[in-house]
Structure formats: structure tokens, C-alpha cells
Amino acid sequence: MRGIGLGFVAALVVALAAVGAACAAKSSSEGAPSTGNDAAPIVIGVSDSLTGGLSGVGLPFQNAVKVAEQYINSFGGVLGRPLRFVVMDDMTDEATILQTTVQTLLRQGAVAIIGPNGSGQVTAVEGMLGAQKILEVSASATATDLISTDPLSEHYFFRTCPSDSLQGEAVVDFAVAGPSGIGLDGGGPVACSRMAIVYLANTYGTSMKAVIDGSFPAKSNGGSIVSEQSVDVTVMPDYSTAINAIKMSTPDCLVMIVYDDVADAFLEQFDVAISPPPSEWKPSFFVIGTDGVYTNKFIVDGRLDAADAGSANVANGVYGTTPDSNPPTSEYNAFKNLYLAQFALTPGESDLDPYTANEFDAAILVALAIEQAGTTTDTAKIRDAYEQLGTATSNSYGPAQVLDALDAIRRGESVHYVGASGNLALEPDGNVQTGYLIWSVVDGQYQTIARIKAEDL
């Protein structure tokens, strides 16, 4: 790893803290901080879920692009011009509101789009952006079928998070091992041989369910999925039909492929329905959430009294999986220091929200791609530059070495960006790989109970 070192990061943190204090109340859409450069800013659009089902990641994502914006502009921007990340709320919509959001960003001059956050949302705009040759990078859309089978050189959609083809396997491995078999080595009795699934009726829910459907019977030595219940992306007042079907199927475990708001509403009704537990259920029954549940909002909104961190909570006792987006690396720590110089953790949090590092990485990669392309008008060339960054195998730079990376690009050298969220090397199909966490909620707090390497799935 080449670069300017952690001493520089510490100094930059102090400088950005001062900038952040002055700008904290401003939206990114109000403009970038001054770089001493009067050239017109380069606009990058950000379709972000500040409200709706994915709002649990929306605000941290907005903060992450602000950090990237101020960080890069402190070096003078790219192509001699400041960057301006224009953030718009798409309301987690997958139809007209989302389409209008993205089209508005393009009309405002966006040369690339970061987001949207959800897999179903990406499905709704991926084709339109590709047809216009606009680079699109999502930090959290994990559905298996978002990356097309076309040659990599024809992709206009990329992501800084892995595909759910791996997360589905992580869910199955944990279900088979169970909470007491965290070694995940395939030994011992099968903890869950009768699985129930509740999933969102969108791209995210259906694609991960398909992975689990295909993997669970074999890995559980002949186990079966005894109930599959689809639910709407928006919170519904009554889940009794789905809950009763699950209850009658006598599962050993329940997998929830939903967003945090639906999870809280569903579990509130589910807990009532199985109290006391049905006599035919195993005492070892457990619930497994996925990354759509793994937000601070899931815990806060799950409280009986939202203002009391110690109150009863439907999230307590839930286990789950999520990509390891906050890895124990120097790259992640460098980003975390930059972030915390401007934005404090939410009360009760001990680390940044999931995928926040992925959003920062998306912003940095798009900026580096624009510099490497040497243009803001040839958007196809920006896409090609993004691919080159993801397939380069030498000259690695992390978040603490962004200035070095920009200088290397200007010298005509190849650059590989090692992200805060992990190594973002592109696979031949355009995906990236990372490890996964197994987590649990204990006394209203997330606990990491295991890490699984991508190559072990």
C-alpha cells in the first residue's frame, strides 16, 4: 500500500472537522465547500432513500457522500474542478417517484449516478441509465440478478457491495449450524431442518429467497422449506395471514428477507402470535434476519418505548447476516476517522451504520473514474475508467491515499482502489466479493458473533 500515511489522515481530520462544523446543517445539494477554484462544479447525482423503507441507511449515506465531497475538494477536486454531490430523496420508491428523481438529477447535469439503495429500485432505472450510457453505482443493492450476463465492457451498473448469492449461502450455513454451532464447519446436528421464510415481494426478497431455496435442502441433509410468505415493501397493518401460515407449518427457524420497518411491524405481531410457543415447536426455534434488517433503526423502532433504550424490544433475540462492510482494516479505520470528524454516531451505536463505507467508496471510485476518463462529457469513457479501476491489479491506494491516487492517474499510471468496505476488485461478472457477519441483538445492541470469509461460502 502506497500513500501519505495516517499522520496525514489525522491532520486532515482536524481540518475537515472545522469544515464539517460549518457545513453540517447544509444539504450536499447546496454546493461543495470552496476549493479555491472558481470553475463550475462537476455534478454527481445521488438517489438516496431519506424516507421510506430504506431510510435506515439513507441519512448515513448522505453523510458519507458529504465526507467524500469535502475530502476530494480539499485536494482541489478532479479535472481541476470541484465536485458537487446532489442528493435527492427517492422515498424508497420503485416506480414513478424514483424515475422522476433520477431524471431530475440528470437534468441538473449529473455525469454519473450513485444509488439508488434498493435492488428493486435499481431494477427500475438500470436499463434507462444504461441506454443513456450513464455510470450507475449502488452501495447496497445486493440482488443476485442485477449484474447482467453481458460482457463486463457493456455493464453500466456496478456496486460496491456483494451479490446476495453469497449472503443466501451465509443464511443457510447459519440456519444449519444454529446459534450454538457458530463454528459453521458443517459438523454436529442440523439446528434447522424445517425453515420458514418471509420475504419482500421485490427483487431483493425474491432473488435471495431463490438462493436459499436452491441451497437449503442439500446443506440441511434433506431439510425442507415448510412455508414461504411474501409481504409488501411498505408496512401493512395486519400480517395475520402470513403469521398463521408460518405458525401452522411448525418451523425450526424463520428467515426474514425484509427491510427494518417491515421487520419491526411483523415481529411485533409474530411475537404475540407465538406467545406462549406452540407446543409442537422446538424450544430452540430462532429468527434469522438479513442485511435489510441490520440497521440502528431496526433496534430503535423495535422498542416498546422508543425513547427508552432499556425497554422491551422485538429485535432482541434476532440473529442475522450482513456483508462485512465495516471490516477490521486500516482502510476502514481511515474512513471512520474522516466520517466521525464531521458526524457523530447515533446514541447507542458503537460503529458506523452498515454500508456507509460502501457509499463512501462508491463516491471515491466515481471521482477517480472521472479523473481517469479526463472528461465529463463522454460518459461512456467515465464508465470505462470505472472498469479499469476495478480490474487493475497493481498500484493500490486506500482512503488515506486518495491524493496519491489522483496524482498517479495524472501521471498515466494504473490505479487500484482498496476501499473502506473491502477490496473492490471486479470479478469477471462485474460483482465484488466480501466476507459476511453473523450478528445477534442482545439487550437492544448488535453483537457480532462470527465472521465468514467469502471463499468459505
118-171 tens-digit pLDDT: 999 999 999 999 999 999 999 999 998 887 667 788 899 999 999 998 899 999
Helix (H, G, I), strand (E, B) or coil at 444: coil
Task: Out of 1.10.357.10, 3.40.50.2300, 2.60.40.10, 3.30.870.10, select the CATH number for domain 165-324+436-456.
Answer: 3.40.50.2300
Helix (H) or strand (E) holding 129: helix 119-131
* pTM greater than the 0.95 cutoff: no
Average pLDDT, the chain: 89
DSSP letter string, 383-405: HHHHHHHHH--SSEE-GGGHHHH
How many Å apart are CA 314 and CA 239, to the nearest integer? Answer: 15
DSSP letter string, 278-292: PTTS-TT-EEEE-TT
How many Å apart are CA 257 and CA 167, to the nearest integer? Answer: 11
How many Å apart are CA 164 and CA 210, to the nearest integer? Answer: 10
Class of domain 5-161+328-423: alpha beta
The pLDDT of residue 87 is 98
* Cβ atoms within 10 Å, residue 16: 22
| Confidence tier at 182 by pLDDT (50, 70, 90) | low
Q: At what angle do helices 164-177 and 203-219 cross, to 10 degrees?
A: 40
Question: What is the percent of the chain with per-residue pLDDT over 70, rounded to a whole number?
Answer: 90
How many Å apart are CA 282 and CA 350, to the nearest integer? Answer: 34
Mean pLDDT of the region 239-250: 97
CB-CB contact of 362 with 85 (8 Å): no
How many Å apart are CA 80 and CA 380, to the nearest integer? Answer: 20
* Cβ atoms within 10 Å, residue 54: 27
Structure confidence by residue, pLDDT tens digits, 335-393: 999 999 999 998 778 899 999 999 999 999 999 999 999 999 999 999 999 999 999 98
* Cβ atoms within 10 Å, residue 209: 22
CATH 3.40.50.2300 spans which residues of the chain?
5-161+328-423, 165-324+436-456
CA 206 from chain center: how many Å?
Answer: 18
Handedness of CA 148, 358, 140, 30 (dihedral sign): negative
